[in-house]
């Protein structure tokens, strides 16, 4: 079990050339790719969310496209459309930005519902349907959606069905004082996030990512840990402050993320810590809190931590 551990270490080293801090976000972004899922990045503007996705695509040598969401974005704007070629009197497909491997959907909550539904098929089926014809997307196809947690005007909240398609919800927090000073020093010395091509990354072949994915599949799980994971999931369904608990799909997703965490740590077996560390990003967007809990300012992350404490850890 070395491919996944080497991949995460390489990505950390290379991303630290352009990203200050945010180690948890970096690890969870790589975990998303390892598990073949999609991620939702939440943070205020200016937290290097776009830079993180763009740099990661360069390091792993995977195709990258970006969509800036607006309230008038149509499905054809992201999927593509058939265009009439007057010279041959035939239609040819003009491919949209979803025909890539890493798609950054910036301010995804500004995307209107009709376009959200079109993206949902791409995320779930890894295919695009245009004029009744299906077109397969890359097996590596990954959506990284970003959203601003304090922006409400002109937004369309993501429906539960689409939120459930995101493997992880990654919280991008403010940096420490020393890290912000380091950011200033980097820009003062000439770093320009708009000129990422000037940065000398040591890149990896795509085969490294595929090999790491095979390691994730090979991680072993003891029966006691299956039961522990299910107990965590079921506990969310009768927790006093939770109106809607985690679904069976959430249990499968938590298992997959925990296996990816174990593989990144160089292990071919699961331990309870893998499940606990994966629970926050896997469940925070899947739980619906009761209105009274939200009025009291209770955060979903704290509720998940309380649930973890309430479930006995197997020995």
Query: Do residue 60 and residue 178 come from a single domain?
Result: yes
Two structure tokens written together for 105: 């959907």
Q: How far apart are CA 315 and CA 312, in angstroms?
A: 9
Asked if pLDDT for residue 185 goes beyond 80, the answer is yes
Query: Do residue 194 and residue 160 come from a single domain?
Result: yes
The answer to the question of residue 214 being in a domain is no
Q: Considering only residues 45 and 285, tell me which one the structure prediction assigns the higher pLDDT.
A: 285
Query: Do residue 87 and residue 11 come from a single domain?
Result: yes
Q: What Rg value do the Cα atoms of the chain yield, rounded?
A: 20
The answer to the question of residue 265 being in a domain is yes
Q: How far apart are CA 199 and CA 201, in angstroms?
A: 6
Average pLDDT, the chain: 89
pLDDT digits (tens, 9 = 90+) for 48-99: 888 899 999 999 999 999 999 988 899 889 998 888 777 777 777 888 899 9
Q: For residue 169, which of 29, 66, 36 has the smallest C-alpha distance?
A: 29
φ and ψ at residue 313, rounded to 5 degrees: -85, 130
pLDDT at 8: 94
Q: How far apart are CA 113 and CA 314, in angstroms?
A: 43
Query: Do residue 95 and residue 194 come from a single domain?
Result: yes
Total residue count of the chain as it appears in this document: 315
Query: Do residue 249 and residue 192 come from a single domain?
Result: no
Query: Do residue 200 and residue 236 come from a single domain?
Result: no
pLDDT digits (tens, 9 = 90+) for 223-279: 999 999 999 999 999 999 998 889 999 999 999 999 999 999 999 999 999 999 999
Q: Which residue has the tokens 């994915």?
A: 213
Please, are residues 285 and 223 in contact by the beta-carbon 8 Å criterion? no
CATH of the domain at 168: 3.40.50.300
The answer to the question of residue 315 being in a domain is no
Domain's final residue, options 183, 209, 235: 209
The answer to the question of residue 30 being in a domain is yes
**Region 209-224 average pLDDT:** 93
As for how many domains the chain has, the answer is 2
The b/e string for 85-94 (b: 16+ C-beta within 10 A; e otherwise) is eeeeeeeebe
The answer to the question of residue 268 being in a domain is yes
Domain's final residue, options 189, 209, 229: 209
Q: For residue 213, which of 153, 280, 142, 161 has the smallest C-alpha distance?
A: 142
Q: Which residues contact 89 (CB under 8 A, 6 or more apart)?
A: none
- Quote the crossing angle between the two packed helices 272-283 and 248-264, to the nearest 10°: 120
Kindly state the percentage of the chain with pLDDT values over 90.
Answer: 50
Asked if pLDDT for residue 149 goes beyond 80, the answer is no
Taking every pair of Cα atoms in the chain, the longest distance, rounded to a whole number of angstroms, is 72
Two structure tokens written together for 14: 């290379």
Query: Do residue 114 and residue 242 come from a single domain?
Result: no
The kind and range of the H/E element at 76 are helix 75-79
* pLDDT confidence bin for 1, thresholds 50/70/90: low
Q: How far apart are CA 155 and CA 148, in angstroms?
A: 10
CATH of the domain at 244: 1.10.8.80
Q: For residue 35, which of 138, 121, 139, 119 has the smallest C-alpha distance?
A: 139
The kind and range of the H/E element at 134 are strand 133-136
Domain containing residue 161: 3-209
Query: Do residue 122 and residue 163 come from a single domain?
Result: yes
């Amino acid at each position: 079990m070395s491919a996944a551990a080497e991949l995460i270490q390489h990505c950390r080293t290379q991303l630290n050339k352009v990203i200050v801090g945010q180690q948890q976000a970096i690890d969870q972004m790589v975990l998303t790719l390892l598990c073949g899922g999609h991620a939702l990045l939440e943070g205020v503007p200016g937290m290097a969310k776009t830079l993180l996705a763009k740099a990661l695509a360069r390091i792993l040598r995977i195709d990258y496209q970006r969509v800036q969401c607006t309230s008038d974005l149509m499905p054809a704007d992201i999927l593509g459309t058939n265009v009439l070629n007057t010279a041959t009197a035939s239609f040819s497909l003009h491919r949209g930005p979803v025909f890539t491997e890493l798609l950054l959907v910036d301010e995804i909550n500004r995307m209107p519902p009709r376009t959200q539904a079109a993206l949902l098929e791409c995320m779930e089926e890894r295919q695009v349907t245009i004029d009744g014809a299906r077109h397969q997307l890359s097996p590596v196809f990954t959506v990284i959606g970003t959203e601003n947690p304090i922006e409400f005007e002109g937004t369309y909240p993501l429906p539960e069905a689409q939120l459930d398609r995101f493997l992880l919800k990654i919280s991008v927090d403010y940096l420490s004082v020393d890290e912000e000073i380091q950011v200033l020093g980097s820009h003062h010395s000439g770093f320009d996030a708009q000129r990422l091509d000037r940065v000398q990354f040591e890149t990896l072949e795509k085969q490294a990512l595929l090999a790491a994915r095979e390691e994730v599949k090979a991680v072993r799980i003891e029966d006691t840990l299956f039961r522990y994971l299910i107990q965590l999931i079921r506990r969310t369904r009768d927790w006093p402050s939770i109106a809607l608990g985690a679904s069976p799909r959430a249990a499968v997703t938590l298992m997959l993320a925990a296996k990816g965490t174990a593989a990144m740590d160089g292990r071919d077996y699961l331990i309870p810590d893998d499940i606990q560390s994966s629970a926050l990003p896997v469940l925070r967007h899947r739980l619906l809190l009761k209105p009274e809990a939200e009025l009291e300012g209770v955060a979903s992350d704290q509720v998940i931590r309380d649930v973890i404490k309430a479930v006995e850890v197997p020995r």
